[in-house]
Structure 1
Amino acid sequence: MMRRDELHINVPNPFRCPISMDVMRSPVSLSTGVTYDRSSIQHWLDAGHDTCPATMQILQSKDFVPNLNLRRLINLWAQSHGPISPASSPTLSDQQLRGLVQYLANENEKFNQNLFNSLSKMVDFAKSKDENRRFLANFNGFVPAVVGVLNREGVEIEVLEMVMRLLDLIASQNGVVEQLHQLITKSNRNCLSSIQLVLQSGSLSSKIESARVLGSIALDADSKRLIAEKEGLLTVLNDLLTSDTDRSLHDVVVSCLVSLSVTRSVKSELVRFGLVQFITETLSNPDVSVSLAEKAMKLLSKIATCAEGRSEISGEPKCVAAVAERLMKGSMAATEDGVAVLWSVCCMVGDKRARECVGKSNGVAKILLVMQSGYGEGHFMRRMCGDLMKVLSVGLGMGLSYDTMTKHIMPC
């Protein structure tokens, strides 16, 4: 039986245009000896360039000569292979990628089919295998050229979506996130506006890719603050949680918000958006993924560090109950986040309703398990568990005392 990949047609590199990456229909050669498809190179020259895209040599003449021999070879090859399969394994040579990088660096390009096709071909190439993604990530000038498209004003949404898809594909390669961090947050401030546009108006997949890239470049306090303070960006991220039901999107957006929640003003704004209600619904839903539930718990623990957040959580009994119910049902980090939330509302705020909700949700037994299982080995976590046991036992009339040194629970 023939394997699926044996049905793919590998297009010889010399038959592809270095700009569009499509099989050339009308190959023409410049004075540098490099051959392009006529429509692609004509568009390049019409944009005012006087260089060869692949070599960057100054052109002595902008005239080009039809490459009849190559055209004949392409026709013979096409006749013997039939229509080119969309599943053909994409290839890129150094020369072709150099031409594409120079083409992307043309700041006059906003949207045309060649620009879109060039990015699309690179996306297909990157999707093919990890080796291709490394090749792109390590190619000199590639990442800056792609990010440069984001930095232009008036670029069509279809092109921006393709850029974000490409950046998401290569973001896991060594050094790429650091480059993106530098290029997007330090130099090209308009990039955030382009990413925001994709988050607002792009397809579902491009929204997920954009949120993932956005979260990855928030590497330090300055970049997190810069991103979070981008006008309208937090509103767009919140809208994705409240107006869209896709949980994969929720997962990456919540992760992004966790990264951005470093200042009191950001946390307060998230509270005003009604994010506590979204987190409550997420934690109360038994069908959500473990990943989403734990990220929601992490975000809630961050919100609970500001007064507005603690007040909102205290006023939402279902939220406190959901947190108590989730204790010991996930990772150690998620359980510690849950304990921190309960400590904030039961001990810092001293909210009686919150203590009652914890008691009704079997929270006392859960906190005992946390202590006895070794979750609370850290000094602050051990102190929070002890404080919780004291206020809960008194509030519920259980007559318990807690020795923070021995971890024993004893009747008073």
Structure 2
Amino acid sequence: MSMIFLWRRRRAGHGGARKDECLDMELSIPTHFHCPISLDLMKDPVTLRTGITYDRESIEKWIDAGNKTCPVTNQVLRSFDQIPNHTIRKMIQDWCVENKAYGIERIPTPRIPITPYDVLEICSTIEASRQHDAKKCLDLVRKMKNLAKESERNKRCVVQNGAGCALAACFELFASFSIEEYTDLLKEILSALAWTFPLGEKGKSKLGSAISLRCIALFLKGEDLSSRKHAILVLKELVSVDQSFVNSLMEIEGIVEALFQIVKLPICPTATKACLVVIYHMTLSENSEMITLKFVEIGLIPCILEILVDGDKSICQKSLGILDSISSRDQGREGLYKNALTMPLLVKKILRVSDTATQFVVSILRKLCMGENENAVVEVMQLGAFEKLLVLLQVGCGERTKSKVTELLKLMNLYKDELECFASSAGFKFLKRSN
């Protein structure tokens, strides 16, 4: 099989030929220059133990997809080593240069991807030098980040070979020395930690220590937007894997205010989502009553309701999760009752965002209407909640949600005769008041 380039070259203007006259020509790519998988000209040819050469990107996608055989020979690969084929790469580059006049661009010499050994060597050097040379540590962290930026493959290699654990240990150590003196190094490590999860047990214990958490919180409360973003991303990863980190975080003075500021004055959607996750876990903690009161007093509920208005699916789900958690407390329900946006937004989100969002809405409405809160029940009925909940039963939902929906409908049925808009609901008299 051969591949063909088609290009146009302007003919010399002799013999009366028109200036715009063009000549179509075909250029064949030598068969051994194209990848057997993608059929494209290889940019970074590598050879497997089977002797077949592929473009590195194509064969890596093949292997990452779970394939364990050579695509051409179908032999089982006992090793996934990819040896750079410098001979073929040089031949391809020379061919590109020879055909430059026909619009062929020379393929640049690819960077050699890092290996697990390279990552382990950097990590061990960080371990050896961190107690003596902060500048050397800073250079190594930057080197690691630059290598990871070169390709997704490099980034995966860095993450999978213990970089996060080494960085977490380094972060804790220098934070214990002096945050002010080593601010630049700590910020650089924090920016790398934001994408090096999972850390392993040792890494989590180092980054989740009281010293490390206080340092992260300090950056979270600072003015540097980039550091605030990295801080909240790291906190999100920590609290998502271990509830004990949530409890430690809640003991830090000013953490509630710092989190609230990220929601109130967004840095970016990624930071907002991470912050919502942290707040959600905090409101689910053992000491959630005190935390809920703080968040309510500081104005979190109006802020959450505002971002619910036009938030995307992910933000809506996380925001509704927080409201569901908050509504379990008296202070939370009181704050929701006081806001005019609460009921209209909740009813609007039923069946509009996702199954998860709808489940949260049903749970919140049930809590707000508990105890036969007449004002709440009447308001949601006037907003069309009764019909939407009936539709939800028809389209189907989980058993727990179905039970809550039925309970809400029974409660609303007590007030339907008082509302003209529900005159047509007489057919639902079988819905009895729940005990």
Alignment TM class, shorter chain as reference: 0.5 to 0.7
- Which residue does 1:385 correspond to in 2? 405
1:343 Cα shift?
Answer: 0.8
- Which residue does 1:368 correspond to in 2? 390
- AA matched with 2:410: K
Query: Are 1:191 and 2:191 counterparts?
Result: no
Q: Which has the higher contact order (CA 8 A, sep 6+)?
A: 1
- Which residue does 2:186 correspond to in 1? 160
Moved more, 318-327 or 218-227: 218-227
Aligned counterpart for 2:318 among listed residues 282, 295, 307: 295
- Report the TM-score, using the length of structure 1 for normalisation: 0.67
- Which residue does 1:145 correspond to in 2? 166
Q: How big is each residue's C-alpha offset from its partner over 1:147-201, in whole Å with a ceiling of 9 and x where there is no partner?
A: 1232123243332232122222221xxx53555433323xx32111221122222
Matched-pair contact (CA < 8 Å) for 2:130–2:137: no
- Secondary structure of 2:328's counterpart equals coil
Aligned counterpart for 1:256 among listed residues 268, 271, 278: 278
Structure 1 stretches of 5 or more lacking a match? 7-84, 403-407
**RMSD (CA atoms):** 3.3
Larger Rg: 2
Aligned counterpart for 2:291 among listed residues 266, 269, 272: 266
- Which residue does 1:170 correspond to in 2? 196
- AA matched with 2:190: M
Matched-pair contact (CA < 8 Å) for 2:246–2:281: yes
Distance 1:201 1:92, change over 3 A: farther
- Secondary structure of 2:353's counterpart equals coil
1:303 Cα shift?
Answer: 0.7
Give distance in 1, aligned partners of 2:324 and 2:221: 27
- AA matched with 1:334: A
- Which residue does 2:362 correspond to in 1? 339
Give distance in 2, aligned partners of 1:227 and 1:105: 30
- AA matched with 1:257: I
Give distance in 1, aligned partners of 2:188 and 2:355: 38
Distance 1:95 1:387, change over 3 A: closer
Structure 2 stretches of 5 or more lacking a match? 6-39, 44-107
1:228 Cα shift?
Answer: 2.6
1:221 Cα shift?
Answer: 3.1
Give distance in 1, aligned partners of 2:327 and 2:424: 26
1:89 Cα shift?
Answer: 6.9
1:213 Cα shift?
Answer: 2.1
- Which residue does 2:351 correspond to in 1? 328
Identity %: 17
Give distance in 2, aligned partners of 1:307 and 1:109: 53
Give distance in 1, aligned partners of 2:165 and 2:346: 44
Give distance in 2, aligned partners of 1:333 and 1:275: 22
Distance 1:280 1:373, change over 3 A: same
- AA matched with 2:360: D
Give distance in 1, aligned partners of 2:133 and 2:214: 15
Give distance in 2, aligned partners of 1:144 and 1:245: 27
Query: Are 1:215 and 2:249 counterparts?
Result: no
Matched-pair contact (CA < 8 Å) for 2:381–2:412: yes
- Which residue does 2:92 correspond to in 1? none
Give distance in 1, aligned partners of 2:158 and 2:215: 22
1:88 Cα shift?
Answer: 6.6
- AA matched with 1:274: G
1:318 Cα shift?
Answer: 1.0
Matched-pair contact (CA < 8 Å) for 1:400–1:410: no
- Secondary structure of 1:317's counterpart equals coil
- AA matched with 2:404: M
- Report the TM-score, using the length of structure 2 for normalisation: 0.63
1:400 Cα shift?
Answer: 8.9
